[in-house]
């Protein structure tokens, strides 16, 4: 029988062999020093915890079923002695029934629920969590080991209802969002359809998400975020994938995507962060959607995430400064990273790649948008504003309907005759 210690040694030498051969496999374009090799190995060891079971997804991902107490969250110094909370103490009471299918101003199509692709080949047992295995080439695609799995500093839009919307150090990031601000918020819920936007280049991304924000610009913003994204440089393909993010200092040194650093504590054995979502919406055809709810447990102060009817896990309140209390702004919508190759705007699509005015079945939407108030109730947001840096490239429109409640359509094609 191979002991765990022997397994670790063997895996380390296999990783060394792979790194040595990588320059040959990639035509010599990969150059790694001995120091970086050790850093890459340590990063992989930290992220890829020993699995009790592994599942091969149809898309090539490996999903490792890791014991819940061995997940990356507990590498965080603030969480060394943390007791896992398997359920929140309270769940927000909502406004909308999830099976409502009415569509504003449309008589065609029905929105359908979605799952994750790896479910086709198996499930993780109780007391484990599914973790998408990180591959060495994914780390090597990052600009540095320290930047792997992290957003760039200063990528939050700064809309305001009282002055002209002002982006803050966008660094190529563009948005089309709805938002509320100026009150105390304790969470939000929205239903969004999922698409496969086409990207101009692999280092760009396109995402749709909700943001829960507190703090002050530009250096100490706290956020918790969740949605879906297409990001080839991170995942190695163009499939839409469920993701989360958090930061307490405007993406400077804290936080990361999914479980790429310690922080988020996962409790679900059914949902893998970073795994592909399946199936996806098609233009003028079936629409597939997911429900996301993030809220603050009034007893523990932790920020919980729910995907559909499944509790995914939570961000402990100890990770944050401002969000240890409440949020001051909520945002919903899309974001792309635009590198402006050749001095032109990117053709990377946001959402479906079509403008909001095309409506249901053609444009991306978020419906039944709600916020959680101080009494732990889901209520309709008041005073929703909209914001887009370049509305000729990507835009957003809001509306209200008896069945859909507050909703937005958003997105666009990027470069076009009106967006050179």
CA 61-64-68 angle, to 5 degrees, is 145
Give domain status of residue 48, yes or no: no
pLDDT for res 32: 53
Distance CA 92, CA 128 (A): 26
Q: Is 228 contained in some domain?
A: yes
Q: Which of 58-72, 162-176, 215-229, 292-306 has the lowest mean pLDDT?
A: 162-176
Which residues are paired to 333 by β-bridges? Answer: 177, 209
For residues 283 and 285, give the distance between their C-alpha atoms in angstroms, rounded to a whole number: 5
Report yes or no on 298 lying in a domain: yes
* 3-state DSSP assignment of residue 234: helix
Torsion of CA 371, 390, 217, 250, to 10 degrees: 80
Tokens read off for 382: 């008041």
pTM, entire model: 0.88
Query: Catalytic: which of 97, 335, 340, 389?
Result: 335
Report in angstroms the alpha-carbon separations of 387 from 109, 172, 180, 366.
28, 16, 11, 15
pLDDT tens digits along 363-411: 999 999 999 999 999 999 999 999 999 999 999 999 999 899 999 999 9
pLDDT-derived band at 111, boundaries 50, 70, 90:
low
- The 10 Å Cβ neighbour count of residue 330 is 27
With contact defined as beta carbons under 8 Å apart, do 264 and 330 qualify? no
Residue with tokens 């054995």: 269
Rounded alpha-carbon distances, angstroms, from residue 373 to 87, 183, 295, 297: 20, 9, 10, 12
Between CA 294 and CA 117 the distance in angstroms is: 23
Q: Which among 137, 115, 122 has a CA at the least distance from the CA of 52? A: 122
User: Alpha helices of 67-225 — where are they, by DSSP H?
Assistant: 136-141
Residue 23 in domain = no
Range of the structural domain that residue 366 is part of: 54-411
- The catalytic position among 174, 225, 358, 389 is 225
| Opening angle at CA 12, ends 7 and 17, nearest 5 | 125
Is 9 a member of any domain? no
User: Number of C-alpha atoms within 13 angstroms, CB side, residue 217?
Assistant: 13
For the stretch 340-350, pLDDT in tens is 888 899 999 99
Q: Is residue 41 part of a domain?
A: no
Question: In the chain, how many domains are there?
Answer: 1
- Using 50, 70 and 90 to split pLDDT, how confident is the model at 282? very high
pLDDT per residue over 231-278, tens digit each?
999 999 999 999 999 999 999 999 999 999 999 999 999 999 999 999
Q: Average pLDDT over the chain, rounded to whole?
A: 87
DSSP H/E element including 12: helix 4-25
Per-residue confidence band for 362, with pLDDT thresholds at 50, 70 and 90: very high
Whether 335 is a known active-site residue: answer: yes
Asked whether residue 252 is assigned to any structural domain, the reply reads yes
Separation of alpha carbons 59 and 269, rounded Å: 20
Where is average pLDDT lowest: 69-78, 84-93, 106-115, 205-214? Answer: 106-115
Residue 138: active-site member = no
User: Is 185 a domain residue?
Assistant: yes
Phi-psi region of 298 (alpha: psi -120 to 50; beta: other; left: phi over 0): alpha
């Amino acid at each position: 029988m191979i002991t765990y210690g022997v397994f670790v040694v063997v895996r380390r030498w296999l990783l060394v062999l792979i790194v040595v051969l990588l320059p040959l496999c990639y035509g010599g374009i990969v150059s790694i020093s001995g120091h970086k090799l050790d850093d890459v190995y340590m990063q992989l060891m930290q992220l890829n915890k020993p699995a009790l079971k592994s599942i091969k997804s149809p898309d090539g991902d490996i999903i490792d079923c890791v014991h819940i107490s061995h997940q990356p969250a507990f590498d965080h110094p603030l969480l060394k002695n943390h007791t896992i909370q398997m359920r929140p103490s309270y769940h927000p009471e909502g406004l909308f029934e999830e099976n409502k299918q009415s569509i504003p101003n449309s008589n065609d199509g029905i929105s359908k629920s979605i799952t994750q692709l790896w479910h086709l080949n198996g499930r993780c047992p109780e007391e484990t969590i599914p973790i998408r295995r990180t591959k060495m080439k994914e780390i090597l695609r990052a600009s540095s080991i320290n930047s792997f799995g992290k957003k760039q500093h200063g990528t939050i839009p700064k809309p305001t209802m009282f002055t002209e919307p002002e982006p803050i150090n966008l660094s190529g990031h563009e948005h089309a969002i709805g938002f509320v601000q100026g009150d105390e918020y304790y969470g939000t819920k929205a239903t969004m359809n999922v698409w496969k936007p086409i990207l101009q280049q692999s280092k760009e991304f396109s995402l749709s998400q909700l943001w829960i924000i507190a703090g002050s610009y530009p250096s100490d913003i706290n956020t918790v975020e969740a949605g879906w994204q297409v990001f080839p440089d991170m995942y190695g393909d163009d499939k839409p994938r469920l993701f989360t993010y958090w930061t307490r200092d405007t993406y400077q040194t804290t936080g990361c995507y999914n479980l790429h650093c310690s922080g988020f504590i996962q409790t679900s054995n059914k949902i893998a962060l970073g795994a592909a979502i399946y199936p996806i919406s098609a233009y003028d055809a079936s629409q597939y959607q997911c429900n996301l709810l993030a809220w603050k447990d009034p007893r523990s102060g932790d920020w919980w995430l729910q995907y559909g009817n499944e509790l995914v896990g939570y961000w402990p309140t100890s990770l944050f400064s401002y969000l240890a209390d409440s949020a001051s702004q909520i945002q919903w919508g899309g974001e792309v990273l635009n590198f402006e190759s050749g001095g032109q705007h990117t053709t990377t699509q946001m959402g479906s790649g079509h403008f909001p005015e095309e409506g249901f079945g053609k444009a991306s939407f978020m419906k039944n948008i709600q916020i959680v108030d101080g009494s732990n109730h889901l209520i309709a947001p008041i005073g929703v504003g909209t914001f887009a840096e370049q509305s000729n490239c990507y835009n957003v429109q809001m509306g209200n309907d008896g069945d859909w409640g507050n909703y937005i359509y958003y997105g666009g094609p990027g470069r076009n005759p009106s967006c050179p």
